[in-house]
Amino acid sequence: MHYAILAYHVETEVTSWTPEEDAAVMTDLLKLHDRLYEERSLGPSARLGATKKARTLRGPGAGTVIDGPFAETKEQLLGFYIVDCASETAATELARQLRRVNASAIYEIRPIQLYLPGVPFPETEAASNPG
């Protein structure tokens, strides 16, 4: 099963890190990434750019592009991982490993479905549990 692990953080805290502090966190994360790659459980992962550079497309028709995300939270989505884990428990343990390296981050774990060309869409929970 594939899971998305979404990494939230207070953006101003991350941007306040010195280059040395940031490098230390990234070095430890890359050690964990290397192990997960060897286990073949880590797919794409990324650190997202600054939220002040983000744009949101919303509204009817072609929509309107507006500056930034406008979530009413202190934490912002700053990165993500796509992982292949045997269970939700395994995905949660992997998120705990990430948190041991970056203890002030918050990790959201969500199951995801991969949609591949020529492969039928999987049945959703709503379709398999009518009524």
Quick one: average pLDDT of 34-44? Answer: 91
Give the C-alpha distances (Å, rounded to integers) separating 43 from 23, 40, 50, 118, 124.
22, 8, 22, 21, 23
* Residue pLDDT, tens place only, 1-25: 899 999 999 888 999 999 999 999 9
Task: Give the chain's radius of gyration (CA, Å).
Answer: 17
pLDDT category of residue 117 using cuts at 50, 70 and 90? low
Q: How many CB atoms are closer than 10 A to CB 6?
A: 16
Does a structural domain hold residue 69?
yes
| Confidence (pTM) | 0.75
Does a structural domain hold residue 14?
yes
* Residue pLDDT, tens place only, 68-83: 766 666 778 889 999 9
Which domain covers residue 105, as residue numbers?
Answer: 2-113
Does a structural domain hold residue 125?
no
pLDDT, averaged across the chain? 84
Does a structural domain hold residue 82?
yes
